[in-house]
Homo-oligomer: A and B are copies of this chain.
Amino acid sequence: MSDGDLIIASDDAPPDLDAIRRAAVRIRGRVHETPVISSRSLDEEFGGNILFKCENLQRVGAFKARGAANAVFALSDDDAARGVATHSSGNHGAALALAAASRGIPCWVVVPTNAPRIKADAVVRYGATVVPCEPGLRSREEGLTRVLESTGATRVHPYDDYRVIAGQGTTAVEFLSQSPALDVLMTPVGGGGLIAGCAIAAKGIKPEIRVIGCEPANADDAKRSFESGNRVVVDAPDTVADGLRASLGVRNFAIILDYVDDIVTVSESEIIAAMRLVWERLKMVIEPSCAVPVAALMNGSLNPVGRTVGVVLTGGNVDLDNLPWQGAG
């Protein structure tokens, strides 16, 4: 079980580029290689070369398929047999359910009652058990603890887990192999799984690249943590970006301090305008969380002029009956 040994070792410490490359090999064929797209009209408006990595086209409609697949397929057979469990406002839950179904093991997902219904539905569709809880990190943790104690399942945290971080980092490995010219890499920041993995991978491949985290001003725990050097926790922040309501994980924060260049914030109205711009111009269905880096380009937080900027479009699971610009209009 050399593969398992490698993972157990790498789970004790943050993944390096090699560990992320091994994760990419492990999940190959279990997740999609997603396309990179661009728009000449957007490039003209922004004055830079903006490349979009379409993880909204990933399996389960979000990059979360990567981390979940890496975590599930790295388990020993004995651990796997007892199943996996997590809490998630949605995309990680669906991703873990899919990965567990692929390996033929049970899966439980603790889902807060304010998560979009489409996300809980996806968990069920992949054959996992949904365990409802109240919104907020504390309720999610309590619900999950009960599940773990009663089942013996392995916890796969949505972001504060080195195997998950390594899996999410495969996004940057793939992006830079498709688009080696990137000067800047922008991702949303919620719990920090994506940006932590991507920052390690991107700086490993191309040390001069700038990695920028983007988050809602209404959920700015990452920015405040990054600037103060102390991890700030925000419970149940009020933002349309439902995928970014979680606070930064412990492991994620440490990696972000080491590898990320800056964290910028955007307003709720900027998120909605950016989401709409992507729908209209890129013809991509993206969820609000996914629009946050685009909002940062639109509000001038990052000046793309003359640069090649990579944006990870993180997910496309949105309730088509409740689009945010319709409530606002």
Q: List residues of chain A with CB under 8 Å of any chain B CB.
A: 35, 37, 40-41, 54, 56-57, 59, 61, 118, 125, 276, 279-280, 282-286, 316, 320-321, 323, 325-326, 329
Contacts and interface: CB of A to CB of B under 8 A. Distances in A.
A320 B276 contact: yes
Contact of A35 (B37, B56, B59, B280): B37
B321 A283 contact: no
Contacts of A321: 325-326, 329
A283 B57 contact: yes
Contact of A280 (B37, B59, B320): B320
Contacts of A326: 321, 326
Given A35-B35, A284-B284, A320 B279 contact: yes
A316 B283 contact: yes
A316 B283 CA distance: 6
A41 B94 CA distance: 13
A246 to B, nearest CB: 22
A302 B67 CA distance: 37
Contacts of A54: 283
A61 B283 contact: yes
Contacts of A284: 283-285
A323 B325 contact: no
Contacts of A40: 59
Contacts of A329: 321
